[in-house]
Structure 1
Amino acid sequence: MERPKELQYYKLSIEDALSDLQTSFEGLGKEAVGMREKIYGKNTLI
């Protein structure tokens, strides 16, 4: 069965969505670590 073209954009598997979320959280974590190092120095527990 052929899907309408406008629905193609929303076709995303659960695995893809979860891996994208994981990637974005990892990116946020790295940014937060960088900011903490700038503010508190590198010898802080995270």
Structure 2
Amino acid sequence: MNEVKIEEYILSHIDSEPELLKRMSREAHVKLLRPRMISGNIQGRFL
């Protein structure tokens, strides 16, 4: 199975990212010099 199919499967089975988390992620990317440690929606749902 390739990565694209796996990601499509995951996205079809999880809820969309809540608006609050979208705003927090955006704010972190605007205000922090290196916001690379922030988990995205897929990683956050898994954790």
Using CA pairs under 8 Å that are at least 6 residues apart, name the structure with larger relative contact order, 1 or 2: 2
Q: Normalised by the size of structure 2, how large is the TM-score?
A: 0.39
Higher Cα radius of gyration: 1
